[in-house]
Structure 1
Amino acid sequence: MIPVVELTRVSAGKPNVLFVMTDQQRYDTVRALGNARIHTPNIDRLVERGVSFTDAYSPDPICIPARHTIRTGCEATTTDFLGNEKRDARHLEDRCGPFLARAMGERGYRTFLVGKYHAHPRDIDLGYDTRLSVEAYREDTGHEVKTTAREGAMVHLPQQNHLPPESNYEAWMTDRAVELVGEDGPFFGLVSYEPPHPPFAPSPPFDRMYDPDRLPGPVRGDRTVDHADEKIPAQNYHFWTAREDGVDETTARVIKAHYYGMISEVDRHVGRLLDAVEARDDAENTLVCFFSDHGELLGDHRGWEKSSFFEASCRIPFLLSWPAELPRGTRNDELVSLADLFGVATTAAGDPDLREGVDLLGMLAGDADPRDRLHGYHETPGLAPNFTTMVREGEWKYVFMANGGREQLFDLSADPDERDDLSDERPEKTADLRETAARKLAADGRTDYLENGTLKRHPYRRLDMGRLVREPYPDSPSDVLD
């Protein structure tokens, strides 16, 4: 627990609010927060400019549900998006209230989105005055966003972005965002970068920044622990990284080098955004929030991608910087969720709407309580039964997998790499957190995941997600030549 810090409280007028978001960035990829192997000087600037929440989580660690939580302030059990379902989301404002951008517009802000938004249909009205995404980039430059060698079977293999770093999509995004930050009047903006989401394809010279031999290999425990969640080996097969152990350690280190290169490339763009903020007369009264939608297993626990509740997949960087109001260079270990961002923005705007989050700004001021525990949920559509739920309480993490009724219990203080499942050794704690998870689902009205008052279990089934193929392979190899 970090002691309450007295805030400076010198701001005047409506603050600007800038959200800067990455896609699939692990919590342990910031140099100023402990990773001495990575180069992130501009994200480090944000660390020193404000408060770093070191126990922040994506409550549904996959793209679409996480982004719906950000724009609604509601958990997946409320939005009913528990997996990457490409279905119409326009009804969410009826269910949850105005989307965040619309809510900020109602509070007197000009609003803009630059980059990825991941909602359907493509023309969905998310409430922004200005929205610039891939379509605008293609029209403006004539380039395609994806410029890597191949996707499909190679999506996780190290590649290179063939566009130079000054003219690729992320550079174009940053140019447009800098222009919008520089306009007059209080603004709410979301700049949403695609990297380090695969394909792992940094632009030169970021593709050769890191020597794989100097990077640590993947964290691996016993396979019964690593693959208790059957979605992990199913995803390995889906993404062509094998059914069991995935790629070899040497290749995993090369992939990590490219992943780090993508983060360092985005860091360069973050620096340009911060320079634009600091060029404003009201720079001190600009709240910058930096976060990611979820993490990336990156070979840890013999897995790749996201959607699991291992720390590498669900724990994220989460930084708040507001020099006029918040202390600088502060660490905070309270439990934080993406659901809290709605309240951060609306509270800064002077008209708080917390929805299903907690009041982080009030908590930092000593005026609001932190959460006692944090819940997470995930279910891959069409791959039943695979509902998974997490409870994080103190140093304990409990994970329940409906497929087979499997359970895990980790003591993160003693076992931060989550190698030792204590669910059998600590049956009372396991039962306590199991019932905590069941009570929360009951309170949320999600009785579809309950049976006889506790979490519903299903007979174990080996899951099959099939193979990821962007373009179908031909029946005969010679057909590609015709």
Structure 2
Amino acid sequence: MSSHVEEIELKQAQDARPNVLFIMTDQQRFDTLRAIGNERISTPNLDRLVARGAVFENAYATCPVCVPSRYSLMSGAQPTATDVYDNSVPEGGHDRIVERVGPYLAEAMGERGYRTWGVGKFHTIPWNAELGFDVQLRSEELYFTDEARRGDAYAAYIADEHPEFDWIEALMGERTDMYYMPQMSPLPAEITVEAWATDRAVELATSEDPRPWFGFVSYIGPHPPFAPPLPYNRMYDPDRMELPVRGSKAIDHLDQQIPWMNYAVYAEDVDDHRARALKARYYGEITYIDACVGRLLDALEASGQADDTVICFYSDHGDLLGDHHGWQKESFFEASTRIPFLLSWPGRIEPGERRNDLVSLVDLFGIATTAAGDTDLRQGVDIVGALTGAAAPRETLFGYHGRPGTDQFKAMVRRGDMKLIWMANGGEVLLFDVAQDPSELSPLQAQYPQVVADLRDALLDDLRCAGVHDALEEDRLREFPYTERPLVRIDQFDMSRGVYGFPDSPERVVHQKPAIHGAH
């Protein structure tokens, strides 16, 4: 066969490969889609995705906080391999991940002949770290320096295209003491960060290029502050919202991260009315993002690409939203660590399938590379193969949070319906049957000591195999005397404009002239 014919056949094979679209939200709980049981929320476009493919009802973050989750999905590796266990990255860690496990997903897809683009929140450290996309347009939550705000594609868009709004310090809503207060977006719905990300994604997905594409759309919402734009801010009646599910505070706050985080974000004393109002605004954020997803789906259909595009929708982690006397995430309760996970592949995955497989963010690497025709599972499992019966589903799933070798290190082990939460702080354990007790109100460790022992052994083996020696002490898990963490506030102002916290003297704010930049 001539080389020319081989080149033609190779090009035809490449052209036949589907596009791959990853759609990610930030801090969206698993129970926030109407099609999978929440009748209080409106998600017509996410419901379209549910009908289009498979729903994985036992999907989890590898670590229930932003930065490590995002490194897991981009590297296909657990925190035990990335060495990212919280919202900090060891110096030089961004590059060392590639040395440990290989290129990030965007670069891997580029090597497979895909044009690649990413839009939205990446939350890399440093903020402008490269992930291998041909086009990478960032929209981060916070700007720690003037350079970061000027380098942020969304902030630049506001400054250039809508300078009348550039005076706003917090483009996504106020933080600090307003972090868990119901708000409305300071911007019209047409130019919020979600609308901007959707517009850019539509442009990139429908641009003229014969190559298949890998696209990543990362929405900042529904991460707090809950500030949906008009009219989504008044879409849900707080009086119709369910109250948080709370157990014994002694159990709920056994993980010291929960009371510590409550205080850090000024949410240590949220009453029932405020909890309902917050959930109403949270749902408004999700429904607004749902409308943005609808525009993406419509664009694919209008451009004739819908049947040739693999779509995966997921979140990086959930939000306690008042459950277990807690707000924010960084906990292994279901509300914090379990996520929505939808996968569709027309002609390959049967639509309308509901799955109980244990899946994780590390599995996304394998999904994308399988679609590209050259599977690399990294530390994930073959989800596509499991759907067809060609591969076995995962038997045991692990999650990690907190630096190993400290009292903040903790882990989750899920096997079958049983879930173990182990904490280095005091060596405390919680065991739940999440099928019988989905709200995790009745721990079972006293009744099932052998299950605890088996899951603890599995955790020990996983850490040993990964070489995480700081988490170990001789032949056991390293434990520390139980202590309560000192409480501190976290101020989250616009440092790019010289605002670092509340002033010692109130008059200083009145007399301080804010730094407002013109067109970039």
* 2:171 partner amino acid: T
- The structure that has the greater radius of gyration is 2
* Residue in 2 that maps onto 1:154: 178
- Please give the alpha-carbon distance, in whole angstroms, between the structure 2 residues aligned to 1:390 and 1:205: 39
Greater shift in the superposed pair: 99-108 or 420-429: 420-429
**Is residue 90–residue 124 contact of structure 1 (8 Å, CA) maintained in 2?**
no
2:77 paired with 1:74: yes
Question: Contact conserved, 2:62 with 2:69, CA < 8 A, in 1?
Answer: yes
* TM-score, length of structure 2 as denominator length: 0.88
CA shift for structure 1 position 367:
0.6
Cα deviations across residues 239-291 of structure 1 (Å, max 9, x unaligned)? 1112xxx4111110100000110000100000001111222334212100000
Give distance in 2, aligned partners of 1:479 and 1:284: 59
* Counterpart pick for 1:220 among 235, 246, 251: 246
With the length of structure 1 as denominator, give the TM-score of the two structures. 0.94
| Aligned pairs for 1:348-367 within 5 A | 348-367=371-390
Q: Where do 1:426-437 residues align within 5 Å? A: 426-437=448-459
1:42 aligns with 2:42: no
Paired residue type of 1:476: S
Structure 2 residue aligned with 1:207: 233
Match of 1:250 among 269, 273, 278: 273
More displaced 10-residue stretch of structure 1: 40-49 or 472-481: 472-481
Matching of residue 117 in structure 1 with residue 122 in structure 2 = yes
Partner of 2:356: 333
Instruction: State the secondary structure of the residue aligned to 1:442.
Output: helix
Residue range with higher mean Cα deviation, 257-266 or 138-147: 138-147
Question: Quick check: which one's helix share is greater?
Answer: 2
Contact 2:406-2:424 within 8 A present in 1 as well: no
User: For 1:128, which of 115, 122, 133 is the aligned residue?
Assistant: 133
Q: Which residue pairs with 2:265 in the alignment?
A: 239
How far residue 384 of structure 1 moved from its aligned partner, in angstroms, is 4.0
Count matched residues.
468
- Return the match for 1:474 from 503, 506, 518: 503
* Pairwise CA RMSD: 1.6
Cα shift at 1:140? 2.7
Instruction: Tell me which of 290, 305, 312 is aligned to 1:267.
Output: 290
CA distance in 1, matches of 2:403, 2:259: 14
The reply on whether 1:312 has 2:335 as its aligned counterpart is yes
Q: Say which SS state the counterpart of residue 227 (structure 2) adopts.
A: coil
Matched, 1:187 2:213: yes
Give distance in 2, aligned partners of 1:384 and 1:153.
29
CA separation in 2, counterparts of 1:307 and 1:270? 27
Query: CA-to-partner distance for each residue in 1:403-449, whole Å, 9 max, x for gaps?
Result: 11110000111111000111112111111111111111111111211
**Relative to 1, partners in 2 of residues 1:414 and 1:105: Cα closer, same or farther, differing over 3 Å?**
same
1:475 alignment partner AA: D
1:27 maps to 2:61: no
Aligned residue for 1:141, secondary structure, equals: helix
Query: Any idea what the Cα deviations from partners look like across 1:354-400, whole Å, max 9, x if unmatched?
Result: 0000000111111111010100000069x941101010000000000
Quick check: 2:81–2:97 contact (8 Å CA) kept in 1? Answer: no
Which residue does the alignment assign to 1:3?
A: none
2:147 aligned residue: none
Aligned to 1:373: 396
Name structure 2 gaps, 5 residues minimum: 1-13, 140-151, 160-165, 493-499, 512-520
Letter of the structure 2 residue corresponding to residue 297 of structure 1: L
Q: Offset at 1:148?
A: 5.4
Q: What is the one-letter code of the residue matched to 1:456?
A: R
- Among candidates 187, 201, 209, match of residue 177 of structure 1: 201
Q: Say whether 1:164 aligns with 2:184.
A: no
**Alpha-carbon offset, residue 465 of structure 1:** 5.0
Q: Which moved more, 1:16-25 or 1:438-447?
A: 438-447
Question: What amino acid does structure 1 have at the position aligned with 2:266?
Answer: W
Question: Residue by residue, what CA displacement relative to the aligned partner does 1:443-478 show, whole Å, maximum 9, x if unpaired?
Answer: 111121112322211001111351011232222333
Segment of structure 1 superposing worse, 219-228 or 383-392: 383-392
Distance (whole Å) between structure 2 residues aligned to residue 278 and residue 446 of structure 1: 47
Identify the match of residue 425 of structure 2 among 403, 410, 415. Answer: 403
Look up the SS of the partner of 2:375 in the other structure: coil
Mapped partners of 2:411, 2:55: distance in 1 = 26
Aligned-residue offset at 1:149: 5.7
- SS for the counterpart of 1:117 is coil
